[in-house]
């Protein structure tokens, strides 16, 4: 397409001067259309191509942060994942228990008692919207943590918990990331967050890219530049020949 634009520019001597503006407009449109339909799809794939390089660097690891339903069989999930090539570790980190919107008195009460329910509760946070987030010690299971809280809750409130969420961290080899993401997706699990060289590369590449509309405008402007080169190509050739002749004559003197 740029060859076509260049060729149009070279026809300047055969068209009225006022038509040059039309040539530049056409060159911009052709450049923009070419950018939108041919170059933009390639441009959009740059983050994926950059992350592919990181996936194939030996030793790179990626961490997937999983939010799982309390009904998930964590033991079976861990065994299945650990049997997959590229598995590094699986760690249950915390649980979230949604209750009801707390008033000030209830907030104070839960904040005062949660730390005494179980010595394996490493830290906790009670929010006004009724969520209790409890971080658990390493190597302590989320099942035991939930059972402990559920037993206390039933004793105090005479009711059972209807739902809770388990948070876990899955560390895998970057080269096997696609395999683990596929296996998790088949179970209806999608990582809520991800960290590691692959994700860093994706984030850095995305942040450095300009919006698609700007990219298309740049390709249009490039078309105008190519057209201008075509328009003044002959003049530039004449100038080059005169300059070379001048230099030869200067050397003879």
Distance CA 61, CA 58 (A): 9
Query: Can you give the three-state secondary structure of 95-115, one letter per residue?
Result: EEEECCCCCHHHHHHHHHHHH
Residue 5 has pLDDT above 70, yes or no: no
Mean pLDDT of the chain: 83
Structural domain boundaries in the chain: 2-48+207-252, 61-195
Query: Residue 59 corresponds to which tokens in the numbers above?
Result: 């030793």
Split at pLDDT 50, 70, 90, the class of 51 is confident
Chain segment 189-231, per-residue pLDDT in tens: 999 999 988 888 888 888 888 888 888 888 888 888 887 777 7
- Output the DSSP codes for 134-164: EEE-TT--HHHHHHHHHHHHHHHHS------
Residue 4 has what pLDDT? 57
Tell me the mean pLDDT in the region 107-123: 90
Distances (CA, A) of 17 to 10, 14, 220: 13, 9, 22
Across the range 175-185, mean pLDDT stands at 92
Q: Answer whether 99's CB lies under 8 Å from 131's CB.
A: yes
Task: Report pLDDT digits (tens) over 122-168.
Answer: 899 998 888 999 999 988 899 999 999 999 999 988 888 888 999 99
Give the 3-state secondary structure of residue 248: helix
């Amino acid at each position: 397409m740029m060859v076509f634009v260049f060729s149009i520019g070279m026809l300047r001597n055969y068209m009225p001067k006022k038509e040059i503006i039309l040539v530049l407009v056409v060159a911009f449109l052709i450049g923009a259309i070419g950018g939108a339909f041919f170059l933009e799809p390639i441009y959009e794939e740059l983050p994926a191509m950059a992350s592919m390089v990181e996936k194939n660097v030996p030793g790179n690891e990626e961490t997937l942060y999983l939010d799982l339903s309390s009904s998930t069989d964590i033991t079976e999930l861990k065994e299945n994942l650990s049997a997959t090539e590229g598995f590094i570790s699986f760690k249950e980190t915390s649980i979230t228990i949604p209750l009801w919107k707390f008033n000030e008195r209830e907030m104070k009460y839960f904040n005062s008692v949660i730390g005494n329910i179980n010595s394996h509760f490493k830290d906790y946070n009670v929010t006004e919207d009724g969520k209790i987030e409890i971080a658990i010690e390493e190597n302590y299971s989320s099942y035991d943590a939930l059972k402990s809280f559920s037993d206390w809750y039933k004793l105090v409130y005479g009711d059972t918990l209807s739902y809770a969420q388990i948070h876990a961290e899955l560390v895998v080899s970057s080269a096997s990331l696609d395999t683990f993401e596929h296996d998790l997706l088949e179970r209806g699990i999608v990582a809520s967050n991800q960290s590691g060289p692959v994700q860093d590369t994706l984030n850095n590449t995305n942040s450095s890219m300009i919006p698609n509309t700007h990219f298309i405008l740049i390709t249009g402007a490039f078309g105008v530049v190519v057209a201008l080169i075509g328009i003044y190509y002959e003049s530039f050739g004449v100038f080059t020949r005169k300059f070379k002749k001048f230099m030869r004559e200067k050397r003879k003197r």
